[in-house]
Structure 1
Amino acid sequence: MSKNADTAQAILTRVGGKANVVNAYHCMTRLRLTLKDNSKVEQEALKKLPGVMGLYDNNGEIQVILGPAVDNIYEEFVKISDVHHEDAIPENEDPELTEKPKITPKSILKGILNAFSASISPLIPLFVVIGMANVVAAIIGPTLLNLVSDTDPLYTNFYYIGQAILYFLPILLAMTSSKFFGTNRFISVALACIMLYPDMLTAIAGETGYTVYGITAPNVTYSGQIIPILLVVWVQSYVEKFLNKFVPNALKVLLVPFGTVAIMLPLEMCFLGPLGFNIGALLCGAVLGLYQVAGPVETTIVCAVVPFLTAFGVGRPIFFACLTTLMTTGVEFAYMPIAMVINNFIVMGCCTGYLIKTKSKEQKQYAITSLVANALGGVSEPTLFGIILPNPKTFLPIIIGGAVSGLYLGIMKVGYYSFGPSNVLSVIGFVSAENSANFINGCIAAALAFVVTLVAMLVLYKDKDEAPKGK
Structure 2
Amino acid sequence: MSKNYNNLAQQIIELIGGSSNVVNVTHCMTRLRFNLKDMSIPKDDELKKLTEVLGVARSGGQYQIIIGQTVNEVYDAVVSVGNLSQSAPIEKQIDQVKIKKTWKDIGNTVLNKIAGSLTPLIPMLIAASMFKMLVAVLGPTMLNVLSVHSDLYRLFSFVGDAGFYFLPIAIGYTSAKQFGTSPILGIFLGAIMLDPELVKIVSAGKPFTVYGIPMHLTNYASSVVPILLSVWIMSYVERFFNKHITASLRTIFAPTLTIAIMLPLSLCVLGPLGGFLGEYVSKGIISFGQMGGLAAIIGVGLIGAFWEILVMTGMHLVMISAMITIVAQTGHDNFILLGSIAASFAVAGMSLGASLRLKDKKEKSLAFSYFVANIIGGVTEPALYGLAIKYRRPFLGMMIGGFIGGIYAAITHVSAYVVVPVANFMSLSCYVGGSTANFINGVISGVIAFLVAALATYLIGVVPKGSEVK
TM over 0.5, yes or no?
A: yes
1:165-314 correspondence to structure 2 within 5 Å: 165-206=163-204, 208-293=206-291, 294-314=295-315
Whether the 8 Å CA contact 1:400–1:456 is kept in 2: the answer is yes
Whether the 8 Å CA contact 2:13–2:19 is kept in 1: the answer is yes
By how many angstroms is 1:138 displaced? 1.1
CA 1:98–1:105 in structure 2 vs 1: closer, same or farther (change >3 Å)? closer
Report the secondary structure of 2:69's partner residue. helix
Whether the 8 Å CA contact 1:83–1:90 is kept in 2: the answer is no
Paired residues, number: 463
CA 1:203–1:452 in structure 2 vs 1: closer, same or farther (change >3 Å)? closer
In structure 1, distance between residues paired with 2:393 and 2:301? 21
Code of the residue aligned with 1:192 in structure 2: it is G
Code of the residue aligned with 1:345 in structure 2: it is F
In structure 1, distance between residues paired with 2:112 and 2:377? 24
CA 1:417–1:7 in structure 2 vs 1: closer, same or farther (change >3 Å)? farther
Code of the residue aligned with 1:438 in structure 2: it is N
By how many angstroms is 1:260 displaced? 1.2
Q: Residues 126-147 of structure 1: CA distance to partner in whole angstroms, max 9, x if unpaired? A: 1111110111111111111101
Report the secondary structure of 1:33's partner residue. strand
By how many angstroms is 1:60 displaced? 5.3
CA 1:288–1:189 in structure 2 vs 1: closer, same or farther (change >3 Å)? same
Whether the 8 Å CA contact 1:348–1:374 is kept in 2: the answer is yes
Q: Unpaired runs of 5+ in structure 1? A: none
1:79-228 correspondence to structure 2 within 5 Å: 79-85=80-86, 88-89=89-90, 97-98=97-98, 102=101, 105-206=103-204, 208-228=206-226
Match of 1:378 in 2: 378
By how many angstroms is 1:189 displaced? 1.8
By how many angstroms is 1:109 displaced? 3.1
Code of the residue aligned with 1:327 in structure 2: it is A
Code of the residue aligned with 2:442 in structure 1: it is G
In structure 2, distance between residues paired with 1:166 and 1:307? 25
Whether the 8 Å CA contact 2:205–2:217 is kept in 1: the answer is no
User: Greater CA deviation, 377-386 or 59-68?
Assistant: 59-68
CA 1:66–1:201 in structure 2 vs 1: closer, same or farther (change >3 Å)? same
CA 1:53–1:251 in structure 2 vs 1: closer, same or farther (change >3 Å)? same
In structure 2, distance between residues paired with 1:110 and 1:467? 36
Q: Unpaired runs of 5+ in structure 2? A: none
Match of 1:15 in 2: 16
Code of the residue aligned with 2:447 in structure 1: it is A
In structure 1, distance between residues paired with 2:428 and 2:454? 19
Whether the 8 Å CA contact 1:283–1:325 is kept in 2: the answer is no
User: Is 2:57 the partner of 1:56?
Assistant: yes
Q: Residues 216-249 of structure 1: CA distance to partner in whole angstroms, max 9, x if unpaired? A: 3222111111111111111211211222233333
User: Is 2:446 the partner of 1:428?
Assistant: no
User: Is 2:460 the partner of 1:453?
Assistant: no
By how many angstroms is 1:125 displaced? 0.8
Code of the residue aligned with 1:5 in structure 2: it is N
Task: Report sequence identity in percent.
Answer: 35
In structure 1, distance between residues paired with 2:206 and 2:314? 47
Whether the 8 Å CA contact 1:204–1:217 is kept in 2: the answer is no
Q: Residues 374-414 of structure 1: CA distance to partner in whole angstroms, max 9, x if unpaired? A: 22212222221121222233244333322211211221232
Match of 2:355 in 1: 355
Report the secondary structure of 1:295's partner residue. helix
Normalized against structure 2, the TM-score is what?
Answer: 0.91
Q: Residues 62-97 of structure 1: CA distance to partner in whole angstroms, max 9, x if unpaired? A: 3222222111221222233344326724867997x1
CA 1:143–1:86 in structure 2 vs 1: closer, same or farther (change >3 Å)? farther
Code of the residue aligned with 1:451 in structure 2: it is L
